[in-house]
């Protein structure tokens, strides 16, 4: 059984002006997401600026999220690293904190071989019992997982159950799903590709858009599951201008700017990310108004 089906939010991490994690605001955002129909919380991923967190902060945010959500929907914790030992440590701590699943990005910078990727993921998976999603995003990591590598891991390792696919390579993803014969739970990692991924047998999306439009993102998936593919596709296409605006600068700069424009007061980015350029913020605000969320 899949960890979740539908729209999981790749949640931002709210910070105070001094850079500390704003736990009061995080609690508020979690409640808003659950009330908005989000199907899963994905915490401490790329959108959550986990790469700027200390290990202690990373684990504390996961623990806080699990306690606050309290089993109402699944919590998936980002625990990937380019160091296998560090990924094992974070994964074990997330499991102890109560995470329902883990999201493990491909090791970045090292440029491991396909055999190295398999060895890395098998080592992390052996250290925990909770289900794991691979995270394939070569644009950020510089590493491409072959379709056969993803299928091998999902077939041979019981608690590696699927992949968040953000490669944008629909042909490669189709090849992978044809090889998988049902052993890979596929999630779109790109908000612009939710319906295409669902059409290939996907379970849903891990979404940046959900931070500002949780109900709409959930509904794109739900209409598809309910058999109303035309409505699902229509909603997907209507969201494209906003999705493009949310990625006109590197994620999560635009989505945090969008949330602040909505009055959610999620605070600043941590360096080296900086505030959104004024001309891009104007484009973002226009797209939000056109979509009806501002």
| pLDDT the model gives residue 266 | 98
Question: 231 an active-site residue?
Answer: no
Catalytic residue among 164, 203, 256, 291: 164
d(CA 164, CA 181): 17
Q: What is the pLDDT of residues 62-110, one digit of tens each?
A: 999 999 999 999 999 999 999 999 999 999 999 999 999 999 999 999 9
6-231 has which fold? Answer: TIM Barrel (3.20.20)
Written as six digits, the tokens of 164 are 């968040």
d(CA 133, CA 3): 9
Catalytic residue among 135, 223, 224, 291: 135
- Average pLDDT score over residue span 137-142: 93
Question: 164 an active-site residue?
Answer: yes
Q: What is the pLDDT of residues 225-281, one digit of tens each?
A: 999 999 999 999 999 999 999 999 999 999 999 999 999 999 999 999 999 999 999
User: What is the model's pTM?
Assistant: 0.97
Whether 1 has a pLDDT exceeding 90, the answer reads no
Domain ranges of the chain: 6-231
């Amino acid at each position: 059984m899949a960890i979740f089906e539908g729209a999981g939010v790749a949640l931002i991490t709210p910070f105070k002006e001094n850079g500390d994690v704003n736990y009061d605001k995080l609690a508020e955002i979690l409640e808003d997401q659950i009330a908005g129909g989000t199907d899963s919380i994905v915490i401490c991923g790329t959108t959550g600026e986990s790469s700027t967190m200390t290990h202690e902060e990373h684990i504390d945010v996961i623990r806080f999220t699990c306690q606050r959500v309290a089993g109402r929907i699944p919590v998936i914790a980002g625990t990937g690293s380019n160091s296998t030992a560090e990924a094992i440590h974070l994964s074990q701590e997330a499991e102890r904190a109560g995470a329902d699943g883990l999201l493990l990005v491909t090791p970045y910078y090292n440029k491991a071989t396909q055999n190295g990727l398999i060895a890395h993921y098998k080592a992390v998976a052996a250290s925990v019992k909770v289900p794991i999603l691979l995270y394939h995003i070569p644009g950020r990591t510089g590493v491409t997982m072959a379709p056969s590598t993803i299928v091998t891991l999902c077939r041979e390792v019981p608690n590696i159950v699927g992949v968040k696919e953000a490669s944008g390579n629909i042909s490669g993803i189709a090849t992978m799903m044809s090889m998988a014969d049902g052993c890979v739970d596929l999630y779109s990692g790109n908000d612009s590709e939710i319906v295409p991924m669902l059409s290939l047998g996907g379970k849903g999306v891990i979404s940046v858009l959900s931070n500002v439009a949780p109900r709409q993102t959930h509904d794109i998936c739900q209409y598809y599951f309910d058999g109303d593919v035309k409505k699902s596709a229509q909603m997907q296409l209507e969201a494209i201008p906003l999705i493009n605006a949310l990625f006109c600068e590197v994620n999560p700069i635009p989505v945090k700017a969008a949330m602040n424009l909505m009055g959610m007061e999620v605070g600043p980015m941590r360096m080296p990310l900086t505030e959104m350029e004024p001309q891009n913020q104007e484009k973002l605000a226009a797209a939000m108004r056109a979509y009806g969320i501002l």
